[in-house]
A and B are shown apart, each in its own frame.
Chain A
Amino acid sequence: MAPEQDRAPQPPLLLMDGITKSFPGVRALDGVALEVLPGEVHCLLGQNGAGKSTLIKVLAGVHQPDGGEIRWQGEQVALRSPIAAMRLGIATIYQELDLVTHVSVAENVFLGHEPTSAGFVVRAGEAKEATRKLLKRLGHPEIDPGTLVGNLSAAHQQIVSMARALSHDVRLIVMDEPSAALDPDEVENLFRIVADLTADGVAVVYISHRLEEIRRIGDRVTVLKDGRAVAVGLPAKTTPTSEVVSLMTGRDVEYIFPERPTAAANGKVLLKAEGLSRDGEFAPLDLEIRPGEIVGLAGLVGSGRSEILETIFGARKASSGRVLVDGEEVRPGSVRAAVRAGLGLAPEERKHQALLMLESVTRNVSVSSMSRYSRGGWLNRGAEFVAAQKAVRELSLRPDNPDVPVRTLSGGNQQKAVLARWLLRGCKVLLLDEPTRGVDVGARAELYAVIRRLADEGLGVLLVSSEVPEVLGLADRVLVLREGRVVHTAPAQELDEHRVLDLVMEGSPAT
């Protein structure tokens, strides 16, 4: 697999240089370079939000870059659409598999380029036969091309996805965390497939959080951080782990976090989880939060972070265990019971899970406490407005006129509107899932200050964030999660980013 010495002068298959891409409010890529040689396994590393997903979407033709150059076999190209990328021979296997679950394997594999007679009659038999061959090449002859994709396991669906990639004349396959959903022996098969492909001269761009995998099958590594490539083409097998980790974490601007109170949190337990678990999502968990305390959950995507929060909030029903607020058990699986008990959730997908985007800030803030501003169902809009305005001002939400439509607010202020909702409700424990997602740097510090102030006023806070520094800087106590299990608990001061990253990334020994 490793490129031979004499391959070195060979022109790269893909050369990306100075790629930039901005989304409203965020510069996702800020001059990224990537060079992939034919037949190599090129690994892409970086923390959440470093720009990996955006980069592979540019490569797949899903996003159009704002600037920069893409060369394919030495020629400058524009990847204007996913079809254009596919025609060149670039296939992408996304983490969220993009298969049509209610049609057959063969139909999925040849979706969009079915073998046809007279241009439109699908030659189903031919498609099936070709699919069977592809599946055999991928080491899974047991998958029947006629089965519905929805009936297959996640691992087999991934194989189908790969077969689809191979059904095109593919030169480069991008795999986004392909091993995340696989069992160990399935991972072995994946590696074998990767080896076969590269032996045929196909290049693979491989994204994984697991450093040990990268050591095993990778040839070279490109590390992304904050939308830039901070290291290009490092040798995958010999670069020390510590160097890779510090490349991923090294940052130029310190986060500004509010000071922690000097006295340790005490008082009665506000929120308690006892043996709380959900099958297939997270193992039994014990947790205690006292007034004034911020507890952080650190872990990768898929480590069960959000699931834990949503289960505590009753949005998912626990398989076992119970949740107590102020010593009283909360009826499981009921959001309304959780809200009544004094829990408030600021969910990960703010726009889809929290905000009523067509409505004003007032209505978004008051939605959970309407009964307080009404008599017999009749709203007292004056009292509602005054209360919403008070909550909004308390959190210095801007603009401070709560009549503005919530969709006109910036991300940080939208998040404050969600917090104001629970503040108005008088909640005791705030569950924050990625509270600073989509919030710009300046507003983050302010949001951190707001969260700390709410804690100082006696709230308990449970914080989930994929940004390790955020958890370490804001929380008093940190629970480190890996694959649904708490692997470490410690006061935030006793942890650093390296240590946490080592803990969450399986199989990479400390330093």
Chain B
Amino acid sequence: MTSPVSKAEQNGPGAGPVLAEPEAPKAPSPRRIAFARADLRTLSLVGVLIALIIVGGITKPDNFLEIDNLQLVLTQASVIGVVTVGMTFVIISGGIDLSVGALVALASVWATTVATQEFGFWGILFTAVLVGVGCGLVNGVLISFGGMVPFIATLAMLAAGRGLALQITGGNTQTVTIDSVLELGYRDAYILGIPPLVLIFAGVAIIGWLVLNRTTFGRRTVAVGGNDEAARLAGIDVRRQRLYVYLLSGLCCGIAAFMLIVLSGSGQNTNGNLYELDAIAACIIGGTLLSGGRGTIVGAVLGVLIFQTITNIFILNNLESATQQIAKGAIIVAAVLVQNRTSRNQTT
């Protein structure tokens, strides 16, 4: 029974003599490594964006780089961009929100009914935001306290939201008659050549970045998505955090709905069609893990810009939307494959 005491022995779980454990690597500073990794990902996205701009510039030299066109691209990116910021939080928390497109539609038609328009500019803005937040609350309660899977709860919200939007409008376009709302979209309202909607998007993105990276709310979101059991045992109120995240997503949908009202001068039940897919795709291209626990606002914003630029280039070149969809699909696959490779190389 006695074995030679040649090496240290123990008796324990997963026990047996233990091999020398390598010291954690000293140099270079881990902070720098982490920084470099995030940087590399962002840089590669910026690279893709620049490449797309070059492609656009070459194929349509007279149209693509026109200031009008760039303003248009950015404006269109703004609406989906605001939705994507909310989606980033949801995905980082380990969830998914399939209802965003439907919420944008519902909020936009609710805010443009004749009754609402009587309250003017603020009535429209307030209603859009309230509807978004309210639906987000329902999503959050179903998921956090009803124990529903986010996929199912928000899928149900998608269906119900679209249905309600159709019921409100009866399929008609609701034209906005409030001038102060419409004027936000006019060229006169541009500030230093930047459309107000783009500024709203920039504001939402910056606030989103700050909340994610500089507040306890952001930390908790990341913790819940990274390891909900560990977060719970560390004393974080996981359910409440989940609820907040869907509220936030709903809020972003409300803001986006308002932006869409400004942009189109109307509310329609077909608004925000397939926004959920575009927003999720933008998050993933930006490096947000679908399993939760990691994600960036900067990446998501770049993802949105990349998508919108592709759409624009295809339209300018008179290519079919079918081809456009195929290209988008290919880009998603390529982005994820590249990221898998780089993250594998860097973690080992």
With an 8 A cutoff between CB atoms, is B68 at the interface?
A: no
Contact flag A441-B10 (CB < 8 Å), given A26-B18, A27-B19, A403-B31: yes
Q: A410: which B residues are within 8 A, CB to CB?
A: 21, 24
- Distance in angstroms from B254 CB to nearest chain A CB is 21
B10, B214, B233: which contacts A253 (Cβ < 8 A)? B10
CB interface residues, B 4-19, toward A, < 8 Å: 5, 8-19
Contact B13 A437 (CB under 8 A): yes
With contact pairs A440-B18, A466-B13 given, residues A335 and B219 touching in the complex (Cβ less than 8 Å): no
Flag if B24 contacts A367 (CB, 8 Å). no
Give which listed residue, A313, A379, A442, contacts B215 with CB less than 8 A: A379
> Cβ of B214 and Cβ of A469 under 8 Å apart?
no
Minimum CB distance partner of A412 in chain B: B21
Chain A residue numbers with a CB within 8 Å of B216 are: 370-371, 374, 377-379
Q: Is B183 an interface residue (CB 8 A)?
A: no
**Within the assembled complex, what's the spacing in Å between the Cα atoms of A381 and B214?**
8
A-contact bits for B262-298, CB 8 A (1 contact / 0 none): 0000000000000000000000000000000110000
Contact with A along B218-232 (1 / 0, CB 8 A): 011011001101111
Task: Give the residues from 196 to 255 in chain A that come closer than 8 angstroms, CB to CB, to chain B.
Answer: 223, 225-228, 230-231, 246-247, 249-253, 255
Stretch in contact with the other chain, from A2-10, A43-51, A128-136, A479-487: A43-51
Q: How far is the CA of A212 from the CA of B293 in the complex (A)?
A: 49
Q: How far is the CA of A174 from the CA of B230 in the complex (A)?
A: 35
Q: Closest residue of chain B to A20, judged by CB?
A: B16
B3 at interface, CB cutoff 8 A: yes
How many angstroms between the C-alpha atoms of A117 and B199 in the bound complex?
Answer: 66
* A315: B residues at CB distance < 8 A: 232-233
The reply to whether A26 and B14 contact each other, CB–CB distance below 8 Å, is yes
CA A405 – CA B23 in complex, angstroms? 14
Q: Is A404 an interface residue (CB 8 A)?
A: yes
Contacts of B16 in A (CB 8 A): 26-30, 49, 51, 226-227
Per the bound structure, the CA–CA distance linking A437 and B12 in Å amounts to: 7
Q: How far is the CB of A429 from chain B (nearest CB, A)?
A: 14
- Whether B192 is near chain A, meaning CB under 8 Å from some CB there, is no
Tell me how many residues of B have a C-beta within 8 Å of chain A.
46
Cross-chain contact B227 with A252 (CB below 8 angstroms) = no
Chain B contact residues: helix, strand, loop or mixed: loop
Contacts of B219 in A (CB 8 A): 363, 367, 370, 379
Q: A315-B232, A367-B219, A410-B24 are in contact. Are A401 and B12 (CB under 8 A)?
A: no
CB of A399 closer than 8 Å to a CB of B: yes
Instruction: Please choose the segment from A70-78, A90-98, A354-362, A488-496 that sits at the chain B interface, where 4 or more of its residues have CB less than 8 A away.
Output: A354-362
Cβ-defined contact, A230 with B24, below 8 A: no
Please tell me if A438 contacts chain B, counting CB pairs below 8 Å.
yes
Q: Which of B56-64, B81-89, B234-242 contacts A (4 or more CB under 8 A)?
A: B234-242
Cross-chain contact B15 with A26 (CB below 8 angstroms): yes
Choose among A47, A49, A231 the residue that contacts B14 (Cβ–Cβ < 8 A). Answer: A49
Mark B64-108 against chain A: 1 for CB-CB distance below 8 A, else 0. Answer: 000000000000000000000000000000000000000000000
Shortest Cβ distance from residue B344 to the other chain A in the assembled complex, whole angstroms? 14
Is A266 part of the contact surface with B, judged by Cβ < 8 Å? no
- Sample 22 A-B pairs with CB under 8 A, ordered by A number: A26-B19, A28-B15, A47-B11, A230-B3, A253-B5, A339-B234, A339-B235, A340-B235, A356-B223, A358-B294, A360-B34, A367-B234, A374-B216, A378-B215, A378-B216, A379-B214, A425-B235, A437-B12, A438-B13, A440-B10, A467-B12, A469-B11
Residues of A within 8 A of B (CB): 22-23, 25-30, 47-51, 223, 225-228, 230-231, 246-247, 249-253, 255, 313, 315, 335-336, 338-340, 345, 347, 352-360, 363, 367-368, 370-371, 374, 377-379, 381, 398-399, 401, 403-405, 408-410, 413, 421, 425, 434, 436-438, 440-444, 466-467, 469-470
Chain B positions near chain A (C-beta within 8 angstroms): 1-3, 5, 8-19, 21, 23-26, 29-31, 34, 214-217, 219-220, 222-223, 226-227, 229-237, 293-294
**Which 4 interchain pairs have the tightest Cβ spacing?**
A227-B16, A339-B235, A49-B15, A440-B18
A437-B13, A469-B11 given; 18 more Cβ-contact pairs under 8 Å: A23-B14, A30-B17, A223-B1, A227-B17, A247-B1, A315-B233, A335-B232, A335-B233, A352-B229, A358-B294, A368-B235, A377-B215, A381-B214, A403-B29, A440-B18, A441-B9, A442-B8, A470-B12
